[in-house]
Amino acid sequence: MGTMAASVEEIGAAAPQALELHALQHLGELRSTFESGRTRPLAWRQSQLRGLLRLLAEKEDEAFRALHDDLGKHRAEAYRDEVGVLIKSCNAALREVGKWVAPEKVWAPLVAFPANAQVVPEPLGVVLIFSCWNFPLGLSLEPLIGAIAAGNAVVLKPSELAPATAKFLEDNIGDYMDATAVKVIQGGPAVGEQLMEQRWDKVLFTGCPRVARMVMAAASKHLTPVALELGGKCPCIFDSASVGTGRNLQTSVNRVIFAKWSSCAGQACVAIDYILVEERFAPTLIKMLKSTLKRFMADSDQMARIVNARHFQRLTGLLKDPAVAASVLHGGKLDAKSLCIEPTILLNPPLDSAIMTEEIFGPLLPIITVKKIEDSIAFVRARPKPLAVYAFTNSAPLKRRIVEETSSGSVTFNDAVVQYGIDTLPFGGVGQSGFGQYHGKYSFEMFSHKKAVLKRGFLVEAMLRYPPWDEQKIAMMRHLYRYNYIRFIFTFLGLSRT
Amino acid sequence: MEESRAAAVQELRARFAAGQTRPAEWRAKQLRGVLRMATEMEAEICDALHADVGKPKTEAHVHEISLVKSSCLFALKNLKKWMKPKKVHARLMTFPSTARITKEPLGVVLVISAWNYPLLLSLDPVIGAIAAGNAVVLKPSEVAPATSSLLAELLPRYVDSACIKVVEGGVSETTALLEHKWDKIFYTGNSKVGRIVMAAAVKHLTPVVLELGGKCPVIVDSNVNLHVTAKRIAAGKWGCNNGQACIAPDFIITTESFAPKLLEALKKVLEKFYGKDPLLSADLSRVVTPNHFNRLLDMMDDEMVSDKIVFGGQRDEQKLKIAPTIFLDVPLDSAMMKEEIFGPLLPIITVDKIHESFGLINSMTKPLAAYLFTRDSKLQKQFESTISAGGMLLNDTSVHLTNPHLPFGGVGESGTGSYHGRFTFDAFSHGKAVLHRGFGGEAKARYPPYSSAKLKIMKGVLVGKLGAMIQAILGFPRGK
């Protein structure tokens, strides 16, 4: 397995390079805690969730500061996308966890009478959550909520590329939650590797496919089940014809800007990566984007910055290609000192350029024109399955075709990114965008094992189950298996020929 | 060889992309085809199963053919229901909006089967994969060659062979198959190969279902109907391919005082089932291969356990048969207690008090199934909450796998993912979230430039405050 360490410079100087002995001992403590049964009672789980809510309320300012340090996020964005969503999820989990843990009765066929069949959720044990740097609070705590609600002991490994938030978590989680059951371990790729040498009962990884492969390969040695939340190039199909030119157009443009630049400056797995629009409408769309951007992003502090120098170089590199540079219509200003890139719009960069083959994860928006909007569907199908497909349209046939003919983690019509906050919808990818889903009840299920439990009595004994065998027994069993009780009785009574 | 394999996979991809496997009619037609095959070819199937593992005709019917048929019928009956998108509550936060979860097939999937139930473990997953609208490659186990070639010959006659293919072969063929890109891999077998399959899936980040095994324990309390208990244990152990089943009872734990009674009951039942010379009974499967035969012999004749034998022990190397054999109190560090037996050897471990059995089971890896015989409801509750296993059965063995409403699968070393009934359909589907918004409900508060007034409204919206929601929809705050 290749090393996860890319370059030492990019890792925050404070990040530990290797797990210290005491950290490894922590892991043993978590296992004992889980085996003692401490994390199982509903009351414990609820107390942890309440602790988390208190943390989010009492330490809100520190959280905002950390997110601003790491990514230059404005308080409003930090609240709207991270803190606020977590509060909502925590409250929902508190309300619902009692329901989630309840065994589910299922139907047992007459052939097993008397019998009682149930599906009983149980915690998997000790789980590991790898978070990501772009929503460092949200992507750490949202899965944590589910893992705790499911009754597990948890290790949280925040991303070292968002060191202020990692430190915030390490400093505070132990004060608000049960430190014998929930631990935060900071570190870089080497620490990640060391953690993966252990056996876990589940690992959730949020990040890029390259590291996901290393995590899954390490997990396979222990048969550790994994869930991978990856990304992809989330397309936005803009059906100008049905959106029109009035208020709906402005609304759509607002929402596109929100989904591209207002969410961590495009550094989001669910951000709009590129737009597909009919040739004839492209100028109108571009004009509206420009004017609305002027209104929304007048101050530079309205948009998050690029997380670090390496990603800044990567994004700059995307624009270096002369054909790509020539397609820039708006923006393009880069400030290496402040790690700021202004909202940039490109028109038809070459389809084989890096900007159109790799996930952009930044404030660059390519607009690709098509002859007919329906051609977008083939365009999207020809590419790896993304985490989300977006479409602004009022056309029911187009909507149906998009749902039926494209595959993605999710589809959202006439808005983008907001699906993330709806906890009744499973959140996760498919194909290259990953596997495993969470949010709401799905988070609970992600960290649970649904155990089938069948209870029988001694009373009714089906003689035909046992050897020695004969044709009559076979016939009776055939009827039973088809739940054909009438024929069974006839055969049993000898009234039916076998 | 590689070219034909690559060409086959490519054809499946093309057919799937063309939408051939999506319509409900196509799926139902394939399911009816499998059903017809299982019905019309019963005799041939029984012969193959007998050739491969010496499976008695009754087991072939009851454990394989009947289950395949009922799986088809269940899928046919519920197909439309499973395919229907599910409406879910869309939150007030995105008002007005509607939300749905729609099931879509994953694409082109690979099913790798096992040798002990070579028909069922091939077709059951394939049935679900088809119901879910996928194109499928089935790789039956080469250790059951008669069933493998029967499937390769028959399946194309009964289903759409452009979208459902059987690829035969051994380790090298399977390794080559695993190099290709699959949208899901479903593997049934042992945990050693399970690791290899998962490692191979890394290349294309393919999700996997691993149905593995483990040492399925049976706890027997003293307050039971002894005769029925003994029969059910015997049926689950030796009546299931002579112990070569992932959910067969592997070992028994009971109290020192009860063990002799249980042993006597088991002996009586075994004689009734298989006669005085079990090696002559037609109702016992043979051991599948000389390799496994020698493995079991080594386990039996290991000097750590050979003096603990209390019943049976007969073996016939020519016919690859081993009689039901019971051991009493073998050492916990013997091979018999460390590895999955997968054969007709049954160790009985005794403890002082029945509760001690829980600690013993928890010291081992999580099994696919755990069994408890008792009338004590407190013990039952404790069993349920203390032991983790794929599935549990109280007062019986094995039969839980026939209930299509119960998920069947392991946890920990016994596997990941589950199937049967609707769970198979779900295992081969992606539940895609679809959110429809309208253009109304424009909340200015969510856009920059940010202000504390906007932040206040957003806070209210996110905790579900109706007042804030109204303000948001009405476009507050006014101005920027």
pLDDT, tens only, B45-64: 999 999 999 999 989 998 89
User: Closest partner residue to B283 among A84, A217, A467, by Cβ?
Assistant: A467
As a whole number of angstroms, the distance between CA B270 and CA B235 comes to 9
pLDDT band at A11 (very low <50, low <70, confident <90, very high): very low
Catalytic residue list contains B246? yes
> Are B449 and A302 in contact (CB < 8 Å)?
yes
Residue with tokens 């496997």: B21
Of residues B175 and A489, the one with the higher pLDDT is B175
CA–CA dist B401, B408 (Å, integer): 6
For A383-419, what is each residue's pLDDT tens digit? 999 999 999 999 999 999 999 999 999 999 999 999 9
Confidence of residue A490 (pLDDT cuts 50, 70, 90): low
For residue A323, the distance in angstroms to the closest alpha carbon of chain B comes to 31
8 A C-beta contact, residue A241 and residue A278 = yes
Query: Residue B362's pLDDT band (boundaries 50, 70, 90)?
Result: very high
**Mean pLDDT value of segment A342-354:** 97
Question: Does position A12 have pLDDT exceeding 70, yes or no?
Answer: no
Interface of B with A in 253-282 (CB under 8 A): 273-275, 281
pLDDT band at B82 (very low <50, low <70, confident <90, very high): very high
Helix (H) or strand (E) holding A434: strand A434-435
Smallest Cα–Cα separation from B301: which of B319, B313, B285? B313
CB pairs under 8 A between A and B: 291
Nearest CA in chain A to B196: A220
Mean per-residue pLDDT for B244-255?
A: 97
Q: Do residue A481 and residue B402 have CB atoms under 8 angstroms apart?
A: yes
Q: Which residue of A has its CA nearest to B359?
A: A35
The Cα of B254 is separated from the nearest Cα of chain A by a number of Å equal to 18
CATH of domain B2-212+420-430: 3.40.605.10
| pLDDT of amino acid A107 | 87
Q: Looking at the predicted complex, does its ipTM rise above 0.90?
A: yes
pTM for the full predicted model: 0.94
CB A146 within 8 A of CB A447: yes
Choose among B201, B437, B459: nearest Cβ to A413. B437
Q: What is the mean pLDDT of residues B267-295?
A: 95
- Residues of chain A contacting residue B475, judged by C-beta atoms under 8 Å apart: none
pLDDT at position A10? 43
Rounded CA-CA distance A159/A6 in Å is 14
Q: Is A109 on the interface with B (CB under 8 A)?
A: yes
Give the tokens for residue A244.
């029109």
- A443 in Cβ contact with A434 (< 8 Å): no
Chain B residues inside the 8 Å CB shell of A425 = 88, 99, 101, 433, 435
For residue A119, which residues of chain B lie inside 8 Å, CB to CB?
A: 406-407
The Cα B182–Cα B165 span in angstroms is: 14
The CATH architecture to which B217-409 belongs is 3-Layer(aba) Sandwich (3.40)
Show which residues of A are catalytic.
Answer: 229, 269
Query: One of B59, B72, B163, B211 is an active-site residue; which one?
Result: B211
**CA of B241 vs chain A CAs: smallest distance (Å):** 13
- Could you read off the pLDDT of B438-449 as tens digits, one per residue? 888 788 888 888
Q: What's the average model confidence in pLDDT over B172-199? A: 97
- Among A220, A442, A460, pick the best mutation site for testing chain B contact (most B Cβ within 10 A): A220
Query: Strand, coil or helix: what is A157?
Result: strand
Res A415: pLDDT: 96
Residues of chain B in contact with residue A477, where contact means CB-CB under 8 angstroms, are 58, 61-62, 66
How many helices and strands (H and E) does chain A possess? Answer: 20, 18
Please name the member of A252, A399, A431 whose beta carbon is closest to the beta carbon of B183. Answer: A431
Closest-CA distance of chain A to residue B24, Å: 14
The stretch A429-447 carries a mean pLDDT of 98
Check pLDDT > 80 for residue B177.
yes
pLDDT at A446 over 80: yes
Per-chain mean pLDDT for chain A: 91
Cβ of A413 within 8 Å of Cβ of B436? The answer is yes
Give the contacts of A356 (CB within 8 A, at least 6 positions apart): A233, A274, A349, A350, A366, A368
Whether residue A39 is predicted with pLDDT greater than 70 in this model: the reply is yes
Confidence tier at B102 by pLDDT (50, 70, 90): very high
C-alpha to C-alpha distance for B312 and B277, rounded to whole angstroms: 9
Within an 8 Å CB–CB cutoff, is residue A220 touching chain B? yes
Task: Say if the Cβ atoms of A424 and B106 lie within 8 Å.
Answer: no
Q: Provide, as residue numbers in chain B, all residues whose Cβ is less than 8 Å from the Cβ of A76.
A: 448, 450-451, 454-455, 458
Question: What is the residue extent of each domain of chain B?
Answer: 2-212+420-430, 217-409
CB-CB under 8 Å, A430 with B432 = yes
A301 pLDDT above the threshold of 90: no
Of the candidates B61, B447, B459, the beta carbon closest to that of A79 is on B459
Q: Could B447 and A254 be called an inter-chain contact, meaning their C-beta atoms sit closer than 8 Å? A: yes
Hey, are the CB atoms on A88 and B463 less than 8 Å from each other? yes
Q: Any CB–CB contact under 8 A between B465 and chain A?
A: no
Interface of A with B in 8-47 (CB under 8 A): 35, 40
